[in-house]
Amino acid sequence: MTSPLTPLAPSEVEGPSANRAIPRHVAIIMDGNGRWAERRGLPKVAGHRAGAEAVRRTMQAAVDAGVEALTLYAFSSENWRRPQEEVSDLKGLMRFYLERELKTLQKEGVRLKLIGEPAAFGNELHDRLRQAVEETKGNDRLTLAVALNYGSQAELAAAARTLARAVAAGDVDPESIDEKALEALLHTSDLPPLDLLIRTSGEVRLSNFLLWQAAYAELHFTDVLWPDFDEAAFNAALAEFARRQRRFGGR
């Protein structure tokens, strides 16, 4: 679970983030909105609203810490199984916060990136999302990758199909296919390697999120419900990351 907040210190690491106390790429499974609302006798949508405020705090904490990329699991491909009213509320909140936060993204130099299949949310919302991506594409202080209608197994299957079609067409020798060939077809191919994956609310699983990318990521699980997640909780995860020795199977 979470460690006490301590000052960041240099860590002995190897691989993508060698000699860095700060992870280049952090991903978060944002969990606990429903339980947060239930404990307060509130409807689930109130938990999702509070969770959206936690996104704002965490994005700012990532910018301040010098993180290069922050990937957030906003809506999984399995979330469509939730009650239709809750899904509609989530889509409405996306529209509201997208319009409200676009100026903040520009002000803080944040580039918005989408991973997954956001077209499933309908033309209107998808068009707004694509417009925000276009408007922020020149920002380079932080990349905020939002996973919408995302499932890691589907992502890997799609990459495998692409390679299979290339082999069938005679464009690719199957013997030449390696990890880099598959990785280049993933939604995160333009982001730094994943260094740190955080999950809130006390659950200890990956839930079909960034399965390939998390192969050598450090994992941090916290009991904090997502709406209560703040700069202190984020910095505590960074501090724990800085204390770990990353060997990448070398020793």
Q: Would the annotation count 194 as a binding residue? A: no
Q: Would the annotation count 86 as a binding residue? A: no
Q: Would the annotation count 78 as a binding residue? A: yes
Residue 196 DSSP SS3: strand
Catalytic residue among 31, 89, 149, 195: 31
Q: Would the annotation count 111 as a binding residue? A: no
**Alpha-helical segments (H) within the chain:** 33-39, 44-65, 84-107, 123-135, 152-168, 179-183, 231-243
Give the closest residue to 211 by CA, choosing from 164, 139, 150. Answer: 150
Q: Is residue 79 annotated as part of the catalytic site, yes or no?
A: yes
Q: Is residue 31 annotated as part of the catalytic site, yes or no?
A: yes
- Inter-residue contact 41 to 34 (CB < 8 Å): no
Catalytic residue among 19, 64, 79, 195: 79
Give the closest residue to 94 by CA, choosing from 152, 148, 38. Answer: 148
Q: Would the annotation count 76 as a binding residue? A: yes
Q: Would the annotation count 195 as a binding residue? A: no
Q: Would the annotation count 77 as a binding residue? A: yes
Q: Would the annotation count 178 as a binding residue? A: no
Q: Would the annotation count 31 as a binding residue? A: yes
- Summarize the annotated binding site for Mg(2+) as residue ranges: 31, 218
- Summarize the annotated binding site for substrate as residue ranges: 32-36, 44, 48, 76-78, 80, 82, 199, 205-207
Q: List residues with catalytic annotation.
A: 31, 79
- Summarize the annotated binding site as residue ranges: 31-36, 44, 48, 76-78, 80, 82, 199, 205-207, 218
